[in-house]
Amino acid sequence: MPELIAERLRQCRNIRSVVDCLLDRALQVSSAGLGNIQLMNWKAGYLEIKAQRGFGDEFLNFFEHVELEDRSACARALRDRDSVVIEDIVADPQFSPCLDVVRRAGVLAVQSTPLVSSSGALVGILSTHFPMPHRPTDMQMRIMKEAGQLAANTIIRLRAGAQTVDSEIDITHGPPDRRCDELHERLLTSKRLLIESREVMVRTEMLLARSPWHA
């Protein structure tokens, strides 16, 4: 039900709540007990886990930072900008550097789906994991991809400052004392500069989020 996940995402007030909502939905749809969401740090050049269900320290430490050239399912999904399904990790030679750690986590199959916004910005990867060789159905993959796009749109909206930032100073009603006019004007100027700086950062981030290895 895309309307249900869309409504839940609209109610999210921060990125942590967005990734938690998306991961819970993905685990429900795919009937998986294990999963994680990584967001892309384009400046540093790697994926970072921001939400997870069911994994221990060994797995989380191993996949703390996943880079473009890695051989995991999430790295491949990042490179391809498309979903990657590994039905049996034991039978996949590319997966060998990750095999032992993932098997000890109780995983034998994995799918990774990129979170790509409506505008084409890639913000992260959604992965669900299975204890036996397994391939999700086409419908399950489609639902996760659609939910991922909605989540990516929400993350970009939050990063763009569409929601009110609690820490922002509210100085719209003017100073209570005329002697504070100069200070008030300085605060207005500072606020204006902060907003302009945020807009530049968001535009830069969106440009960086467009995969540089795709036209």
Per residue in 3-42, pLDDT (tens digit) is 688 889 989 999 999 999 999 999 999 999 999 999 999 9
- 117-161 residue pLDDT tens: 999 999 999 999 999 999 999 999 999 999 999 999 999 999 998
pTM of the complete model:
0.75
**Per residue in 28-37, pLDDT tens?**
999 999 999 9
Distance (Å, rounded) from C-alpha 14 to C-alpha 79?
A: 27
123: exposed, middle or buried (Cβ count in 10 Å: 0-12, 13-18, 19+):
buried
DSSP string, 110-178: EEEEEEE-TTS-EEEEEEEEESSS----HHHHHHHHHHHHHHHHHHHHHHTT-SPPTTS---TT--SSG
| Token representation of residue 144 | 């996760």
User: Which residue matches tokens 């060994």?
Assistant: 58
Homologous superfamily (CATH) of 2-159 is GAF domain (3.30.450.40)
